[in-house]
Amino acid sequence: MVTGFLSDVRYLEHDTGLGHPECPERIVVVKKYLEKLSWFKGLKQLKPINPELDRILKIHSSAYVNRVKQSCEKKLNILDTPDVVICEKSYEIALLSVGGVIRLADELAHGNIKNGFALIRPPGHHAEYDKAMGFCIFNNIAILARYLQKQHGVGKILILDWDVHHGNGTQNAFYSDPSVLYISLHQYPFYPGTGSESETGEGKGLGYNLNCPMKTGSTDRDYKEAFIKKILPKIKEFKPEIILISAGFDAHKDDPLANVSLSTDCFKWMSERMLEMAFEYSGGRIISVLEGGYNLKVLPECVAVHLESLCT
């Protein structure tokens, strides 16, 4: 089986305006870079589907979904917070991002791919049950996790989030749910203000939320130490049936929106560790979803090392 690669030119139609970091060019530069690499031709190229709304309503309220739709129909420029810039097409394209991760889930469940990466936008891990935040409209990876459970009978799911910003929306979606282990490495204290070590879940989900807050200036060594001492032991204890990755690349030393100092090679190293965990516990099954990453030179390089690791 091959690795699946999902993207679509329509993701460029989510227009965030001049100077916004989460811009259409992010997709353009990554795709151009990948197309020059010899191994990229061997990937299975996939397109998103149009998702059923009830998939989204497993994570977001119907009132919120309607508000997103109406805001775009009214041609408003802002959704909930000033950093979530929208246009008339944003609702449609946010649905298409959800449709991208669902397509990958179906392909993986049917045995057509061994793993997959979704080059999509807008990103999702900050989106809450009833609120847009941090460039995010719908929480793609949370919707994906619930879809895998409800549609394909997957039980225990690991979500690893290495975006430099804590995935508050994803954490909250599963905070009392022992079937989803959420693990995040992120700069702290930093936007959005959540993600302390003390946030470990509640009720039946207590112990199924692991935050690894990283100090400003953290390096490859710090991240590898967190993996070895905290993350890998937790994964081995949990034994996930599938691994999902919120793959943000804004912890890179050259990213303009944060202050963590990872090398490109560190993303390769983390990818390899997750592959090892997937082969040990999950039949090799991984779906990785683009979150952040805002340096247009570095982002393609980081995606490439991550995606090439999935191909091995």
Per-residue model confidence as pLDDT tens digits over 235-273 = 999 999 999 999 999 999 999 999 999 999 999 999 999
Q: Report residue 20: phi and psi, to 5°.
A: -75, 135
Q: What's the rounded Cα separation, in Å, for the pair 8 and 14?
A: 12
Q: Please report the beta strands in the chain, taking only residues with DSSP state E, as ranges in sequence order.
A: 2-6, 44-46, 78-79, 81-85, 113-118, 157-161, 180-187, 209-214, 242-247, 286-290
Q: What's the rounded Cα separation, in Å, for the pair 302 and 264?
A: 6
Amino acid at 203: G
Q: Which of 14, 60, 126, 166 is catalytic?
A: 126
Q: How far apart are the first and last CA of the chain?
A: 11
Range of the domain at 233: 2-311
| Among 234, 236, 230, 251, residue whose Cα is nearest residue 299 | 251
For the domain that residue 301 is a member of, what is the CATH number?
3.40.800.20
Mean pLDDT for 46-62 is 97
Pairing of strands 81-85, 78-79: antiparallel
Per-residue model confidence as pLDDT tens digits over 114-147 = 999 999 999 999 999 999 999 999 999 999 999 9
pTM of the model: 0.98
Q: How many structural domains is the chain composed of?
A: 1
The residue with tokens 């199924």 is: 208
Burial 13-43 (b: 16+ CB within 10 A, else e): bbbbeeeebbbbebbebbbebbeeeeebeeb
Per-residue model confidence as pLDDT tens digits over 146-170 = 999 999 999 999 999 999 999 999 9
If one counts every other C-beta atom within 10 angstroms of the C-beta of residue 180, the result is 25
Give Cα 195 distance to the centre of its chain.
16
- Tell me if residue 126 is catalytic: yes
